[in-house]
Structure 1
Amino acid sequence: MATQNIYILGIESSCDDTAASVIHNGRILSNVIASQKIHEEYGGVVPELASRAHQQNIVPVVHQALKKANITKDQLQAIAFTRGPGLMGSLLVGTSFAKSLAFALNIPLIAVNHMQGHILAHYIDEDGFDKPPFPFLAMTISGGHTQIVRVDDYFDMTVIGETIDDAVGEAFDKSGKILGLGYPAGPEIDRRAKLGNPKAYKFTKPKVDGLNFSFSGLKTAVLYFIQKEVKANPDFIEENLNDICASIQYTIINILMDKLKLASKETGIKHIAIGGGVSANSGVRQALKDGEKKYGWTTYIPKFEFTTDNAAMIAIVGYLKYLEGNFSKQDVAASARLKI
């Protein structure tokens, strides 16, 4: 992309992972993540505990990222950070740290939209991974977000469909909680789904007009189904867990793919990219690959480590903004509900 020697530090602290990454001319040199295990006890992220853990983790994580990249802080050209959306307390830690460091080093500060990060992670220079051409459709699926975005340029994005209630990651986690699985439940449901029959149990799909999604009805359907079956057979979950997981996952993937098919048909765009934590799901990845044969799509799936919350995706957006001279002022504020 560029011939200059551009080193940018990316900082991500939107939820419960403290992450830092160094990018050099579009190529990631380090991508360090400190995960917070404490939330597993509570079955979900506790905002106050998350922000405290960020305060403990941010200095060691940034130090590690610079060390792994084999550079000093004085070689950095800019600091990119997640401005939002996310948990306010968590965002404040990353925002304050980034502002202080940029000010101390007298280098530009670059505010990044977390959702744009998930989409633009596809532009990290990574061997064996193609970059989607414009325009393309991006489906961002995670614990907090479910969106279909039309992407006409790096910073020309339009949300054309989104969830009207729960995000897809919540659907996995809440279904898992009903089944007595730990938090986060998504990976465990995915693992068990491979061992079960996806058509063992039928869950109705919500009827939502256009390209929007709804997942709260599915969660309720799973709850009532389990209550009814357990009443008849107290060992029902234990005896049928793999089939239940497979059926829930099959329904969720069908909901996602139905909307993606409709979006592709309506826009005429056949380049499809995914991002966000749920894009690590093997069933989603397979359904997307199947779409290549069925609908003539070209699909783009990022490297596994760039799917969940990470700072590499913040660093690449920082790099692209740096090339445009798109910098933020020191009075930039974190925003929990930042839109694309």
Structure 2
Amino acid sequence: MMEYLQQLSEAIGISGREEAVRKIVLEAIDGCVDEVHVDALGSITAIKRGTEGSKRPKVMVDAHMDEVGFMATGVDGDGLIKFVPVGGIDARIVPGMRVKVGPSGIQGVVLSTPIHKNKDSTVIQIANMRIDIGASNKEEANGKVKKGDRIAFDSRYRILNDSTICGKSLDDRAGCSVLIDVLRESSYPCDILAAFTVQEEIGLRGAMVAARRLKPDVGLALECTTAGDIPNPLADPDSDDPADLNPTCRVGRGPTLSFMDRSMIADPRLLRYLRQLADVYGVPYQLKTQLGGGTDAGSIHRANTGVPSAVISLPGRYIHSPHALISHSDYLNAVRLAQAFLENLTHDVLKPL
């Protein structure tokens, strides 16, 4: 398992330019699915037919290929690159960040205000930041960078302490890798309608198109979600008060099940089913307590005449940064839970409450 995770993490695929990720996914699923289609937006949909009778459930299993990043919008007179965010990025982490600009991966660094010029620690808005690629003037910079060029975090995939994975874009390349392993590892009684989607980070767009095309009975999104298991930086540094942690979920405690976020309320039948399966198969899991954010399930569940949907997420620290962090054991347990879901799902699960 996890054969492709490093490649997926290190590939550059800012929303709207996911082609490098798509190439890896197509190679990974070759030979283990029955049909593959790339739609007009660039999402991959792949069908793995089930082994049961003709009335088997059709399950759309989704993971998004795109990552957050930036887009070049112009060049200043002194050769510095103007840019805007693509997706949600905390402006506080951007100054001093190393980046790769454009299709050739030009190396650059985001300007960082000298400490003596920002004594009140004002957070500079991203629209007012610039990227230095070492160009000496506007003409030189314009020869290397074009408006609309994507700009990615410049960071490498690493294994920390044998049990923890660190790298960029684990939201949601970790989900893509889980879905690849699910497709490669086994056969299932239901039809799997796998969707590796584009443009999730800017509005769940690829999933909307894919779900309309696939017409699933059930939706399952595989995601990476924010873990809040780090100390509150605003708390008393000498405090041992448990309230100083805000654990929406914890890395290393198992995959996370969402019952609600800003984009969807999870189908209660599927949520109950996932919890029962986790208990039966001995898979540790957590319920996500933070109700913010959204996933592709937010688009899937509204497709066509409605699609009962649920979400399995990997808890991740520092997501939407150059150095997200997930647990190896959480990854393996997410694969186990997704496989159990697909191996046991019947139409009876969706009987009215």
- TM-score of the aligned structures, taking structure 2 as reference length: 0.28
Tell me which of the two structures has the higher relative contact order, counting C-alpha pairs closer than 8 angstroms and 6 or more residues apart: 1
Structure 1 or 2: more strand by fraction? 2
- TM-score of the aligned structures, taking structure 1 as reference length: 0.28
Structure 1 or 2: more helix by fraction? 1
